[in-house]
A and B are shown apart, each in its own frame.
Chain A
């Protein structure tokens, strides 16, 4: 059961890319099963068949001497069948592969996103020629349904791999290189993705989510993401902002609209609008957030976020502030 973390299976395709591969899988599976049953049946028959006394002669002999010409023909036939099946496999493979690697239809209309892998989170950027229209967020990718999305991938440290199985197969993110992949989500929903190249201690908990929503809703989301964070109205959250800016938070995180501008960790400008924290490891609830701030190392040992000793009052204020970052 997948509750808050999203759909995550190559067998539950929700886009044209994953659907094609799913079709290919069904073909492969059925052909393989047929081949397997045939070969094992032949093996069982050869092993267990009743033998005439002449056939059961224990004197060692070359097999070819005992075998009739029919056996040789059978082997040649089986080999030819193998070659043919492999040939069909190649054709089907190419037929599936070409449209997958080809640029998406409606090329110019595609949404462009840049995703950068970090140990162990994902930086998501919606580029724009106008700096004020750029959107930077983390670990959660919003896309409109029914529109191709081209993702440019790179990494700042080690090799990661971008993989939302319900939408598209994986593509490695290699430092010093740019790779790309495209997908399209047909149905609104939350699709989980996970790093698929071993990248160190928290490879297991380096996940992201793709939230597919109708175009209007997506545009609304984009508009909100472009905004800077509002200065909180209530006093507790205001004090939380002070805590944020006075402690170690500010060393790594950005909250646009405040002096906090470090790019080492995820951008927190609209943290409260996200579904999860800690790269898809925890639901974005107050309790989880508090636990994550105080003791991230017991949730994700080795993560780059240090443990923080914060007075309980300050923590409550900080949580109130972070929850105000809608």
Chain B
């Protein structure tokens, strides 16, 4: 009797936990300014600060727990031809996005800045061309390429030719700061 009750309780708790995690994962936010929508100004371009140094507050991308937003990021990644340089994460003209090496940082705000501001050696600036929501969707997707979002949020395979394992399967790796953009190593 007690065993059964306990098993039942465990099942209920398990179900409830799964259910609660589902709330955020499955929401479809078609139109909103994400909570961290004005961080362009928050991207620090200089190390110099007046007064005592402020501690680094790690920023969480608004959409890394939302499967639909990551999926939209994947769609935009294809639509805006990010794959033209980065391929499906494996890199080409631009650096790969699914490995542990990050030139300008792997934090969401770094990737946000990279997309909005552009980077030397070929990464164009998308300032003004993309809404903040779209950029944050792209950020979430780019991070999913190197396994930085939960498996149940990361996209599955797309209806295209097989090129690389689906994003759900990529493992998170400890990011390494890579100093030289591959594009810079030109003969």
Asked if A and B form a direct contact in the complex, defined as CB atoms under 8 angstroms apart, the reply is yes
Check if B28 sits within 8 Å of A307, measured CB to CB: no
Q: Chain B residue with minimal CB distance to A250?
A: B129
Residue B31 is within 8 A (CB to CB) of chain A in the complex: yes
Q: Which of B59-67, B90-98, B130-138 contacts A (4 or more CB under 8 A)?
A: B130-138
Report whether B80 and A251 are in contact in the complex, using a CB–CB cutoff of 8 Å. yes
The smallest C-beta distance from A37 to any residue of chain B, in angstroms, reads 50
With an 8 A cutoff between CB atoms, is B159 at the interface?
A: yes
Residue of B nearest to A252 (CB): B79
Contact A251 B31, CB 8 Å, known A175-B159, A264-B79, A306-B134? no
Known A251-B80, A306-B134; contact A246-B30, beta-carbon cutoff 8 A = no
Q: Which secondary structure dominates where chain B touches chain A?
A: loop
A175-B159, A301-B31 given; A306·B80 CB < 8 A: no
Name A's interface SS: loop
Interface centre among A250, A297, A303 (most CB of B within 10 A): A297
Q: Which of B28, B128, B130 contacts A246, CB < 8 Å? A: B128
User: A306–B131 contact, CB under 8 A?
Assistant: yes
Residue pairs across A and B with CB atoms within 8 Å: the count is 35
Q: Does A247 contact B (CB under 8 A)?
A: yes
Verify if A225 is at the interface (C-beta below 8 Å from B). Answer: no
The answer to whether B31 and A307 touch across the interface, beta carbons within 8 angstroms, is: yes
Contact B129 A247 (CB under 8 A): yes
Measured between beta carbons, the chain A residues less than 8 angstroms from B133 are 306-307
Instruction: Provide the bound-state CA to CA distance between A308 and B31, in Å.
Output: 10
Give the interface size class of chain B.
10 to 19
Contact present for B130 and A251 (CB under 8 Å): yes
Q: Does A285 contact B (CB under 8 A)?
A: no
Task: Give residues of chain B (107-134) contacting chain A, Cβ–Cβ below 8 Å.
Answer: 128-131, 133-134
In-complex Cβ contact of B31 among A201, A250, A264, A298 (8 A) = A298
Which residues of A from 121 to 164 have beta carbons under 8 Å from B?
A: none
Structural contact, A251 and B159, CB atoms closer than 8 A? no
CB distance from A266 to the nearest CB of B (A): 14
A125-B130 Cα distance, complex, nearest whole Å: 28
Contact A301 B130 (CB under 8 A): no
- Inter-chain CA distance A110–B134, complex, in Å, is 43
Please tell me if A257 contacts chain B, counting CB pairs below 8 Å: no
Residue A295, interface by CB 8 Å: yes
- How far does the Cβ of B69 sit from chain A's closest Cβ, in whole Å? 12
Known contacts A250-B129, A251-B130, A307-B131; A295/B31 CB under 8 A: yes
With both beta carbons as reference points, the residue of chain B lying nearest to A156 in the complex is identified as B159
Complex Cα distance, B131 from A256, in Å, reads 24
Please state if B130 and A248 are interface contacts (CB–CB under 8 Å).
yes
Name, among A175, A246, A252, A307, the residue most crowded by chain B CB atoms within 10 Å (CB to CB).
Answer: A307
Say whether A77 faces chain B, with CB atoms less than 8 Å apart: no
- Closest chain B residue, CB of each to CB of A295: B31
B131 with A308: CB separation less than 8 A: yes
Q: Which of B30, B80, B128, B129 contacts A301 (CB 8 A)?
A: B30
Residues of A within 8 A of B28 (CB): 201, 302
Contacts of A247 in B (CB 8 A): 128-129
Chain A stretch 35-50: residues in CB contact (< 8 A) with chain B: none
Interface residues of A in 263-308 (CB under 8 A from B): 264, 295, 297-298, 301-303, 306-308
Chain B nearest CB, measured from A303 CB (Å):
8
Evaluate contact between B128 and A297: CB separation under 8 angstroms: no
Q: How far is the CA of A250 from the CA of B129 in the complex (A)?
A: 8
Q: Residues 252-265 of chain A: 1 if any B CB is under 8 Å from the residue's CB, otherwise 0? A: 10000000000010
Q: How far is the CB of B41 from chain A (nearest CB, A)?
A: 16
Q: Which residues of A are at the interface with B, using a C-beta cutoff of 8 A?
A: 175, 201, 246-248, 250-252, 264, 295, 297-298, 301-303, 306-309
A-B contact list, 5 entries, CB within 8 Å: A247-B129, A248-B134, A306-B31, A306-B131, A307-B131
Q: A246-B128, A248-B130, A309-B131 are in contact. List 16 more A-B contacts (CB 8 A).
A: A201-B30, A247-B129, A248-B128, A248-B129, A248-B134, A250-B129, A251-B129, A297-B30, A297-B31, A298-B31, A301-B30, A302-B30, A306-B131, A306-B133, A306-B134, A308-B131
**Interface on B for A, CB 8 Å cutoff?**
28, 30-31, 79-80, 128-131, 133-134, 159
